[in-house]
Amino acid sequence: MSDFVDSDGDKLKIERPLTYEGRAFVTIEGSGGGVYVSAADLPMVVAALYQAAGQQPPLIARRVYFGDNPKLHEKLRVAVNGVLVERKGHRLHLFGREFDVTTAEMIAGALLELVEAATAEPDPELLAALSETLDGALGGEGLFDTELLARDVLAAYKVEKRRQP
């Protein structure tokens, strides 16, 4: 199916097994063994490869399907939860503005990073400590969901921290 050969000539073989739908079989040629990787685990495998190489892993988004035609690239316009996105040649229209494909790709990347930051789970110990601190500072009367406040503070801090050089 697909092979990767490194500079030393070692071959990583990636095949679609006949018996395991939705999985890939990965072997190192001559090793005698291999690993089945499910489609759902592919982003984690890719992230692990990047991290092992000392690089930040890419953001991987799931494909979005609309209606009977799963091929979004064949559509010229689509509404995503009420937000209209149109493709006109090599330009995209979004929020009533027109963007070249490079800018649209940068916007998509920025959105993915912000979604990643917004959905990341904070350190449980830090969350508990901050929640307890907020609870004490706000009087501990249950008027506020201090865990939710702590999550928001930690998410905002993470984004601010990442902006620093």
Residue 56 has pLDDT above 80, yes or no: yes
Higher pLDDT, 152 or 32: 152
Q: What is the pLDDT of residues 60-95, one digit of tens each?
A: 887 776 666 556 667 788 888 888 889 888 899 988
Which DSSP string corresponds to 30-58?
Answer: TSS-EEEEEGGGHHHHHHHHHHHTT-PPP
The Cα 46–Cα 54 span in angstroms is 13
- Say what the pLDDT of residue 92 is: 92
134: Cβ contacts below 8 Å, ≥ 6 apart: 144, 146, 149, 150, 153
Residue 54 has pLDDT above 80, yes or no: yes
17: Cβ contacts below 8 Å, ≥ 6 apart: 23, 24, 25, 36
- Say what the pLDDT of residue 72 is: 66
Which pLDDT band, with edges at 50, 70 and 90, does 52 fall under? very high
- By the 8 A CB rule, do 117 and 155 touch? yes
Domain boundaries, the chain: 2-52, 72-119, 124-163
- By the 8 A CB rule, do 104 and 92 touch? yes
Which pLDDT band, with edges at 50, 70 and 90, does 163 fall under? very low
The Cα 24–Cα 47 span in angstroms is 16
Q: What is the pLDDT of residues 103-148, one digit of tens each?
A: 999 999 999 888 887 777 888 888 899 999 998 888 877 778 899 9
